[in-house]
Amino acid sequence: IYILAIESSCDDTSVAVLKNDTMLSNVVASQKIHEEYGGVVPELASRAHQQNIVPITSLALAKANIDKNQLSAIAFTRGPGLLGSLLVGTSFAKSLSLALGIPLIEVNHMQAHILAHFIRAENMKPPSFPFLALTISGGHTQIVKVTNYFDMEILGQTLDDAVGEAFDKSAKILGLPYPGGPLIDKYAVSGNPYAFEFPIPKVKDLDFSFSGLKTSILYFIQKQTTQNENFIEENLEDLCSSIQYTIITILMGKLKKAVKKTGIKRIAIGGGVSANSGIRKALKDAEKALGWTTYVPNFEFCTDNAGMIGIVGYYKYKSGQFAGQETSAKARYHLTS
C-alpha cells in the first residue's frame, strides 16, 4: 500500500509518501514569515500553504521515487487547526483523490501525534496496547488512554494554555523570538533549574493549567528588571532552566497520577514539545525510578509532519475507513469524534 499524506493544519506544509508503515519521504516546509510577527498569522499561513503544496508534493513523490499512479490512497489532516490552512490541504487532497481515482482518508491531527509511534523507523518501537499518551503541542495538552488504534479516551487536558504556548509565551517575556520553545530548551541545558522558583498550579484530577505560570513569570521579570535592567541577560540560562523545570514538574506530576489511576505504566509522548530534552530525560529517569516503559518519537515525528498523517492513513486504509468528497475541514475536531 502506498499512501500520500498531506499536513497543513498550522504553519508547516508537509507531504509524505509511505509504503505500508514505512516512510519513503517526509518533506516539511516551515514558514519563516511568522517569526517577524512573534506568532502564526493565519492569512499568511494559508497563502504560504497554497504556494508550497504543489512543489512539496512533487518533491515528496520524487524523493520516494514513486509515480503518482502507483498511489493507493490520499490521506490529509482534516483538523483541528487553522481553518484557512486546513482548507488548502483538504481541497488539494480531494482533487488529487478525484483525479487519480483513489480513495480519500481524513485524519485527526491529534490522533496522528499519538499514532506517530507506529511509524516503522530506526530507534522507535511501537507501544503495545493499552498505553497512556501525553500529547504536548502548540495547541493541546492531553493525557489520553489509548486502548487501540482508534479507541482513545481523554483522561485530562489543559483548561487554558497548552504546554507549547507556555514555552512560547515564557520565551516571549524573555525577549526570545518565536517559536521560543526550542530556545528555552537550548539555554536551559547550561542553567540551574533551582535558581528561581515558580508556583505549581493546583488543578483537579488529570487536568492542566499553564496560564498562571506565564503571569507569574511576567510579574517576576517586571519586578527584577526595574531593579536591574540587565536581569534577563545576566540570568537567561537559569531562567530558562527554571521555567523548563517547572513545566516538566507539572507534566510528570500529572503522569504519575494517571499511572496510579489506570495502572498503566506504558507512557508515549507526542506533539512538538516532546522534542524537549528535559522531558525526554525526565521520562528516562522515570523508567529506572518508577518502572515505567516510555516511548519517545524520533525528532522528525514530534513536530508537525505528514508522516504521522500517513501512518493513520495506513491503519484507516487497512480497516476500510474512507472519506467522501463532501468531507470538510474542521478547525475544532475532537480527538474521539
Residues at the binding site are: 109, 113, 135-139, 168, 181, 185, 276, 304
7: contact with Fe ion by CB under 5 A: no
140: contact with ligand ATP by CB under 6 A: yes
SS (H, E, C) 128-176: CCCEEEEEECCCCEEEEEEEECCEEEEEEEECCCCHHHHHHHHHHHCCC
Candidate list 14, 137, 158, 244; residue touching Fe ion; CB under 5 A: 137
Residues tagged in the binding site annotation for Fe cation: 109, 113, 304
| Nearest residue to 316 via CA among 108, 140, 68, 124 | 108
Candidate list 27, 146, 275, 312; residue touching ligand ATP; CB under 6 A: 275
- CB closer to Fe ion, 165 vs 304: 304
Candidate list 89, 127, 271, 307; residue touching ligand ATP; CB under 6 A: 271
The x, y and z cell numbers of residue 334, run together, are: 475532537
The whole-angstrom separation of Cα 141 and Cα 120 is 25
Q: What is the smallest separation between the CB atom of 123 and Fe ion, expressed in angstroms?
A: 21
| ∠ CA 69-75-79, rounded to 5° | 155
Candidate list 181, 191, 307, 310; residue touching ligand ATP; CB under 6 A: 181
The whole-angstrom separation of Cα 125 and Cα 251 is 23
182 makes contact, choosing from ligand ATP, Fe ion, none, with CB < 5 to 8 Å by partner type, with ligand ATP
**For ligand ATP, what does the binding mask look like between residues 188 and 217, x meaning CB under 6 A?**
------------------------------
Cβ–Cβ < 8 Å for 79, 111? no
The whole-angstrom separation of Cα 81 and Cα 92 is 16
Q: Which stretch binds Fe ion (CB under 5 A): 93-101, 162-170, 176-184, 303-311?
A: 303-311
Q: Which stretch binds ligand ATP (CB under 6 A): 132-140, 222-230, 233-241, 259-267?
A: 132-140
Q: Are strands 22-30 and 104-108 parallel, antiparallel or unpaired?
A: unpaired
Site size toward Fe ion, by CB under 5 A: 2
- Give one DSSP letter per residue of 24-86, joined into a string: EEEEEEE-GGGGGGTS--HHHHHHHHHHHHHHHHHHHHHHHT--GGG--EEEEEEESS-HHHH
275 makes contact, choosing from Fe ion, ligand ATP, none, with CB < 5 to 8 Å by partner type, with ligand ATP
Q: Which stretch binds Fe ion (CB under 5 A): 131-139, 166-174, 235-243, 287-295?
A: 131-139
161: contact with ligand ATP by CB under 6 A: no
Grid cell 528561581 is found at 196
Q: Which stretch binds ligand ATP (CB under 6 A): 120-128, 179-187, 203-211, 318-326?
A: 179-187
What is the side-by-side strand order in the sheet with 151-157? 151-157, 141-148, 131-136, 266-270, 293-295
235: contact with ligand ATP by CB under 6 A: no
Angle of helix 163-173 versus helix 231-262 axis, rounded to 10? 170
- CB closer to Fe ion, 185 vs 304: 304
DSSP symbol at 199: P
The x, y and z cell numbers of residue 121, run together, are: 523507523
Cβ–Cβ < 8 Å for 138, 147? no
310: contact with ligand ATP by CB under 6 A: no
170: contact with ligand ATP by CB under 6 A: no
Candidate list 304, 306, 307, 311; residue touching Fe ion; CB under 5 A: 304
- CB closer to ligand ATP, 106 vs 185: 185
Give first-to-last CA distance, the chain, whole Å: 26
Site residues, Fe ion (CB under 5 A): 137, 304
Site residues, ligand ATP (CB under 6 A): 9-10, 81, 109, 113, 137-140, 164, 167-168, 179, 181-182, 185, 271-273, 275-276, 303-304
